[in-house]
């Protein structure tokens, strides 16, 4: 099925309150343009060099999301334009984002990544680490960073109950903190394999790659 048809089909299943980020990593410019023609404006990439190259070649009204693990020394390349950084998983990264935000005279929107999966390989803060950051007041000393919410990735498993529980816990954490900090408005959870469960559990932002663009081939 074409990218346009996939997008139409997925959108028709989603509540209007959910933002769809089309994850275009490894995919050619032509497919991104096809999605753009279909009205898609939010795109996500993992690899910074690829993100920067694509941003330069595509329409300037695209909102670019940096969704994967981000190394501090790469922040400077995306700081001038990035719309939202999903994978903030350390304080040193947050400080570097603030520094680059200051250099570019802008406020950079970020999501704190929370480790909700059982695998040890996935990045992110624990709930209590995240809570400590929010309570510590240290964000006040980072005026060029705006924490807009949280991001999480569920375990890579076929066990739907486990995925549901992981998303449910993250959503509960989000709601609890949103009551205290209304600026928290984004809960990025759900990928191609688990997005229906994520929506059911209160996701406000999906990151979908293969379900829109087809399977990725790595060379």
Binding site for ligand PLP (CB under 6 A): 23, 25, 46, 67-68, 191-193, 207-211
SS3 at position 164: helix
Classify burial at 130, counting beta carbons within 10 Å of its beta carbon; exposed 0-12, middle 13-18, buried 19 or more. buried
C-alpha to C-alpha distance for 64 and 45, rounded to whole angstroms: 8
Q: What are phi and psi of 146, to 5 degrees?
A: -120, 110
For the bound state, the minimum distance from the C-beta of residue 29 to ligand PLP, rounded and expressed in Å, comes to 18
For the bound state, the minimum distance from the C-beta of residue 26 to ligand PLP, rounded and expressed in Å, comes to 9
Nearest residue to ligand PLP by CB is 209
Q: Which is nearer to ligand PLP, 142 or 152 (CB)?
A: 152
Q: Which is nearer to ligand PLP, 42 or 207 (CB)?
A: 207
Q: Which is nearer to ligand PLP, 102 or 192 (CB)?
A: 192
| Other CB atoms within 10 Å distance of the CB of residue 210 | 14
Adjacent-strand bridge partners of 108: 145
For the bound state, the minimum distance from the C-beta of residue 122 to ligand PLP, rounded and expressed in Å, comes to 9
For the bound state, the minimum distance from the C-beta of residue 68 to ligand PLP, rounded and expressed in Å, comes to 5
Q: Which is nearer to ligand PLP, 169 or 192 (CB)?
A: 192
Q: Give the DSSP letter of residue 138.
A: G
C-alpha to C-alpha distance for 51 and 49, rounded to whole angstroms: 5
């Amino acid at each position: 099925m074409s990218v346009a048809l996939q997008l139409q089909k997925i959108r028709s299943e989603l509540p209007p309150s959910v933002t769809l980020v089309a994850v275009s990593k490894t995919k050619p410019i032509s497919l991104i343009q096809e999605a753009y023609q279909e009205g898609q404006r939010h795109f996500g990439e993992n690899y910074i060099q690829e993100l920067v190259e694509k941003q330069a070649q595509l329409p300037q009204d695209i909102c670019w999301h940096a969704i994967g693990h981000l190394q501090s020394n790469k922040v400077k390349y995306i700081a001038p334009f990035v719309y939202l950084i999903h994978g903030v998983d350390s304080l040193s990264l947050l400080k570097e984002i603030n520094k680059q935000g200051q250099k570019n005279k802008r406020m950079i929107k970020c999501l704190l990544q929370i480790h909700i999966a059982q695998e040890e390989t996935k990045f992110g803060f624990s709930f209590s680490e995240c809570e400590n950051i929010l309570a510590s007041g240290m964000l006040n000393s980072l005026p060029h960073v705006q924490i807009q919410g949280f991001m999480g990735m569920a375990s890579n498993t076929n066990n739907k109950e486990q995925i549901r529980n992981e998303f449910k816990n993250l959503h509960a954490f989000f709601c609890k903190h949103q009551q205290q900090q209304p600026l928290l408005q984004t809960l990025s959870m759900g990928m191609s394999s688990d997005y229906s469960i994520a929506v059911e559990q209160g996701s406000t932002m999906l990151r979908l790659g293969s379900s829109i663009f087809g399977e990725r081939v790595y060379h």
